[in-house]
Amino acid sequence: MSLHPTNVTQKVQFIIEHFHKNVEYRLDGKAKTMVVTSSRAAAVRYKKGFDKYIEKHPEYAGIRSLVAFSGKLTGKQVMHSDDERIAGEVFVVDEDEEFTEIYGGHSSLDSHRSGIS
């Protein structure tokens, strides 16, 4: 249930909006915010959710998500059975697609507006 597309999408919206309204200005370009997830699959799903939400909301264009974990995951390990039916293309991945530590389970939000890169 925790990785269900509706659950992740709603939490992503809350996290991005909370970060923007309550945290971003306090960082003054000198730090990042971290979202700790329960698994590597969750980290990938949240990253995909953050990126799609930011893409759809230009007011958050200065926010960037990063994700880092050790090891490797396949798309099959990241997928949820309701992805296509509920979330459209947000979480849909190819079963053989690979996500590695380079893809970036911690997620962090940073802001280009604040000068964080």
- Asked if 45 and 91 touch (Cβ cutoff 8 Å), the reply is yes
The answer to whether residue 87 is domain-embedded is yes
The answer to whether residue 65 is domain-embedded is yes
- What's the number of domains the chain is made of? 1
How far is the C-alpha of 25 from the C-alpha of 39, rounded, in Å?
A: 29
Q: Other C-beta atoms within 10 Å of 34: how many?
A: 12
The answer to whether residue 101 is domain-embedded is yes
Element (H, E) at 53: helix 40-56
Print the domain residue range for 15.
5-111
The answer to whether residue 116 is domain-embedded is no
pLDDT tens profile 50-100:
988 999 999 988 888 888 888 888 777 776 666 565 656 666 666 777 777
**Coil, strand or helix at 35:** strand
pLDDT class of 111 with cuts at 50, 70, 90: very low
The answer to whether residue 117 is domain-embedded is no
pTM of the complete model: 0.75
The answer to whether residue 17 is domain-embedded is yes
How far is the C-alpha of 53 from the C-alpha of 73, rounded, in Å?
A: 23
